[in-house]
Chain A
Amino acid sequence: MLDKYIRFIISRPGATVLAIVLITIAFGTGLPKLRFDNSLDSMMPSKDPEYLRNEEVKKIYGNNGKFIIMDVAPDRLWSGARLLEFESLIGDIEEYRDFDGTREAERRRAFLSVTEHAPVGRDELLARFENDPAYRRLLSRKITGLFGEEHSLDRSRISTLARELERSATVRSERLVDRILSPFTMKDLSGRNDTLSAFDLVERGEDGRRQVPTSGKSIAELRSRLSANPAFAKGIFYRDPASGEISDFGVLVRLLDVRDYDGITSEMQEIARSHPDLHITIQGIPVLYHQINSYMQHDLRLFMPLVMLVMVLIFFLNFRSLLGVALPFITLVLADIWVLGLMGHLGGKLTVIGISLPPLMIAVGSSYSIHILNRFALDTQLIRSRGPVQGIRISMNTIAVTLILASLTTMIGFATLVTNQVSAIREWGLYSAIGTLFAVLIAASLIPALCICLPGAVQGLGREGKSSGKAPVDVITAFMAHLATIHTRAVMIVVAGILVLSGIGIGFLKTETSISAYFHDDDTINVSARLIGERFGGSLGLNILLDSGRTDGVKDPGFLQTVEEVRNWLLSDGNAAFQIGRTDSFTDVIKRMNMAMNNDDPAAYAIPASATDIADYLEIYSGDDLNSDGRADDFEPYVDHEFRTVNLFARMYEKEGAPLSTSRLNEIIASIRAGLSPMLHERGYRLAISGEPLIITRLAKHVVRGQLMSLFLSLAVVGLVVSLLFKNWKAGLVSLIPIGVAVTMNFGLMGWAGIRLDIATAIIASITIGIGVDNTIHFLNTFRHFRSAGSDLDEAIRATLSTAGRAIIYTALALILGFAVLVVSSFKPIIFFALLVGVTFIATTTGALLILPAVIKYTGVDLAESTSDSRFWKYFYIGRLFNIENQNTIEGGSQ
């Protein structure tokens, strides 16, 4: 079967190359469709009960965890100029809430009328929108973003600008901004002098525009209005504790529940940057996701050239020829295009671990290329004597089994991740398995085909005259053979020691799925998260659901008093460890109305004693209910439409720098449950908790469970496949020793070094097994050949290491260095991932070159093909399909 395929490739090299080019083009068209997605939603198992509950909660209360929050802290906040600038900021954000298609069409026409005669001056274009200040500012920031301070817009720039404006209009037309909470957009109540009035904090004039306070009197009035409502503090303003003055404004942009916030977040960040005088710090879960996406794109741009460079160096070191660099290089680039293009076509998304796919494919692809080219290099004389077609056919037949077995086991290692509940890991497993198949297909087809097409190509790979004396690689393999055969017992003792130490380290292993843990502590994202937390209570929202047990139970003063007790308990000094910076609740509205009904007496900022009063307040509260669900829109985040359950929305942050790690979140949620449930139960109420923090902790559980599942599954499947391939159960067991040691070392090291098991590091075990077993198979295949040729144990070990060792070391080098470039990543998990992959590959390589031969020598295990002709082997000896026996003969012959 294999020979037929190889004959086909070699007899039609031109058609093979053409077919690969056409397939590459087909897959390549999928690349632009590739999208990034790092939301927890994209990772969570869709059937997880907590996830489903959270989705239900989102249906009832809206996606109140998805908001962008801005801290606006300019110098001289209370000057007219700054307040006017703040008005511009709010106006800019409102464009994303109040998109008007007709007005946008007019703007488009106006833009086209000015720009039809290029070049156009920036000022000339902006002047056209003198009466449309929000659009004028939008244009200005887009021009600055695209062309800096350039003043002249030629035709090409105008086209670029028009495209950007269209993109922005698309984002605005989605109207993702649900509500804007700020000192300029909020309303309040007053009940002074027995007169009840509802008013905008900043009133609007006859023309419908806000009357921005600029005079001393109007500014003082705004300050007074802000101070009058206790719920506004740390909500829409922050008071500097030193001066006692309002020093910052808060702007909370609540977004509708959608999957992709990238576009809107990018626009909000751009708006924040365009008001430098306001000193804006921007935060929120969408900002975190957006930042991850930006970093990922940055990382990809950075990684790829670096990985390529590393590969070029390794290829050159190995082959010392242009073709020896070019052929594998083309192979691995194509492998990347195929797998990423396929992802694009199938709607797959690049997640935070997904970005390791391109370097992984490069590393895997390079290892197959190195195996093939090394074989060609070894067979230079054969190819010369038999002619390129026949010679390459024999040479390919020789290496084919190693390639197939290596890629098959690698694919199995990756594919076992599809059993993982975490979708990001599952998809990674699927695409990396497919990518491995692509890589081996391309390497095994393109390289021989090109070598036939390019006369003299193989001769260039020959080693004659290229090395003087023993290469360092040969020294290493000889040393390993010496240790394995002469100091066998010592090697076994050291391995046992390492296993014991690793076992202890595993006991310290912790899981981490918190998003903030993706970033360095001093990353702007974490710094701004702490600042926003201190001033406005944080951006990680916990829904604490208090169920009154009956319809309209929320209107009962006793229940609302309990809600207040719960709030106070959550924010009490004794519970500072909960790291809750602020709570928002339905009771704020009731308390404020009660205060207004009592002539704005601050003492009346409390839950009224009478249920009738509460019912009256709700009856006269004239809030919009645009979705007709029975609640004023203002109430939606905080009460269900049956007025049975209150959602106490608690915002968390890394108080005093204490990280909100997964384990910490687990402890906090457990403490809240333990602290509240008995008291609520006693009063006939019930507690439920949902929200992003809970999802993070659930995700961690899935990561661990999935990790264990795929670990055992991949070990079992790999052991089974090797047994069936070699027709020897002991071979299967032996093959697991080096990778088992490496995996144990990996987790042990993580435990000792405090590196947490997260989404990225969770896949290391599978990579270790999938790729690490290649070396084992390469070793076993060659070792058995020498044993069957009559060598004694020590001779076979030495011969195997000197033959297979070279390819094993070079492929390991390619993999280690390929992944090593990931240490420049902006994400901590990816950095640890790269370091651990390096360590485990060193371990698996050492495992194959030292531990495996030492175990074989120590145990004296017989790895020869079973002579049994039982029915089982008749049906399940899959090595037959790959002509192992035949290939062994050829391999022997070609050497």
Chain B
Amino acid sequence: MRSYSIAILTMLALAASPLYALDGRQIMEKSDALAQPKSVRAAVLMLVEKGGRVEEKEFELVGKKYGNDEKALLSFSRPTSIRLLTHTYKGRDDDQWLGLSSGKVKRIALADSDKPFVNSHFYYEDLKSRDIDDYGYTLIGDAGAGGVDCYKVEAAARSKKLVYDKAVFYIDKTNFFVMRIDIYMRGGLHKYLENHDIRKVNGILTPFRAVMHSADGRGKTELRIKSVTYNVPIADSQFSKEALR
């Protein structure tokens, strides 16, 4: 359970702030350089489709940058009222707290980034901020995704410690926005993310619908942005441990 501030960005704008700087490294760097928000407030609907059932989850997301650091609060309203507060620091481990519906607060020291986030198809790994140098990038061709022409860039993990072996990015040739990511684990395609309904909000490209599919077609998790505002003033007290009670 690390780096929920980036979780926010992943959910709202996995593409607006492409997590991977790639290339042909140049392509990925361009993608990485797209405009990013200083703060965000959003209402998100999460639809988890598994075993023929669709479970709806709803949460509010509040995030703010503090120089190189970030703070984010994720407050679920459905199906439970858990809250997750994350302080992300550059160069050291993140701090994270969990607030239960009952008001009980626990510091979290969980370490498994290859585990599902709230039983969805997103892993904690998907929500982490990443170092562009973790992967080596190769332009492997062109392909269509989301109805646009894309560069197809393969990112190969440089360390065995990383959860994913490799990822293939589909990047819009016109604006360097990530339209799709194929994610590989243990030598095989594990899942893929598709961004849809991409709009510009306050000058920031934002996918209003992002769908993570499991590769075997057995399930998917869809994130729908109900509302989003960027660069709005947010009180620092919202990111304190006491705010969880």
Contact = CB atoms under 8 A, between A and B. Distances in A.
A616 B82 contact: yes
A194 B109 CA distance: 10
B73 to A, nearest CB: 16
A621 B186 CA distance: 23
Interface string B205-231: 000000000101011000000000000
Contacts of A195: 106-109
Nearest to B79: A615
Contacts of B105: 194
A891 B102 CA distance: 99
Interface stretch (B48-56, B170-178, B232-240): B48-56
Contacts of A621: 119
A629 B117 CA distance: 15
Contacts of B186: 100
B160 interface: yes
B102 A612 contact: yes
Judged by DSSP, the binding face of B is loop
Nearest to B106: A196
B50 A613 contact: no
B90 interface: no
Contacts, number: 101
Contacts of B76: 619
B80 A625 contact: no
Interface residues of B, number: 39
B101 A616 contact: yes
Contacts of B49: 628
B134 interface: no
Query: Which of B106, B124, B187 counts the most A-chain CB atoms under 10 A from its CB?
Result: B106
Nearest to A193: B107
Nearest to B121: A628
A629 B106 contact: no
Nearest to A197: B109
Contacts of A199: 111
A32 to B, nearest CB: 34
Contacts of A629: 50-51, 218-219
A186 interface: no
A627 B51 CA distance: 8
Interface in B110-153: 110-112, 115-119, 121, 124
A196 B108 contact: yes
A149 interface: no
Contact of A100 (B1, B101, B187): B187
Contacts of A275: none
Interface string A158-195: 00000000000000000000000000000000010011
Contacts of A208: 160-161
Contacts of B118: 619-620
Interface string A791-816: 00000000000000000000000000
B82 A620 contact: yes
Contacts of A619: 76, 79-80, 82, 118-119
Contact of B51 (A101, A597, A615, A630): A630
Given A624-B116, A625-B116, A194 B102 contact: no
A642 interface: yes
A619 B46 CA distance: 13
Contacts of B124: 622
Nearest to A551: B53
Contact of A641 (B51, B100, B104): B51
A198 B96 CA distance: 14
Contacts of B214: 628
A534 to B, nearest CB: 35
What bracket does the count of chain A residues touching chain B fall in? 35 or more
B101 A615 contact: yes
Contact of B187 (A102, A618, A628): A102
A625 B161 contact: no
B189 to A, nearest CB: 14
A627 B219 CA distance: 8
B13 interface: no
Interface in B42-72: 49-51, 53, 55
A230 B242 CA distance: 33
B98 A196 contact: yes
A116 interface: no
B198 to A, nearest CB: 26
Nearest to B108: A196
B107 A196 contact: yes
B101 A641 contact: no
B103 to A, nearest CB: 10
Contacts of B109: 195-197
Interface in A588-638: 597, 610, 612-613, 615-616, 618-625, 627-632
Contacts of B101: 612-613, 615-616
B51 A622 contact: no
Report which residue of A101, A618, A623, A625 has the largest number of chain B beta carbons within 10 angstroms of its beta carbon.
A625
A573 interface: no
Contacts of B50: 625, 628-630, 641
Given A619-B80, A630-B55, A642-B53, A610 B116 contact: no
A206 interface: yes
Contacts of B187: 100-102
Contacts of A207: 160
A592 to B, nearest CB: 15
A101 B49 CA distance: 32
A198 B121 CA distance: 20
Contacts of A641: 50-51, 53
B51 A616 contact: no
Given A208-B160, A619-B80, A625-B119, A610 B112 contact: no
Q: Which of B79, B80, B102, B218 neighbours the largest number of chain A CB atoms within 10 Å of its CB? A: B80
A199 B109 CA distance: 9
A198 B110 contact: yes
Interface of A: 100-102, 191, 194-199, 206-208, 597, 610, 612-613, 615-616, 618-625, 627-632, 641-642
23 contacts: A101-B187, A195-B106, A195-B109, A196-B108, A198-B112, A597-B100, A597-B106, A612-B81, A615-B101, A616-B102, A619-B82, A621-B119, A622-B115, A623-B115, A623-B116, A625-B116, A625-B119, A628-B50, A628-B121, A630-B50, A632-B116, A632-B119, A642-B53
Closest 9 CB pairs of A and B: A628-B219, A622-B115, A630-B50, A629-B51, A630-B51, A628-B218, A197-B109, A641-B51, A196-B106
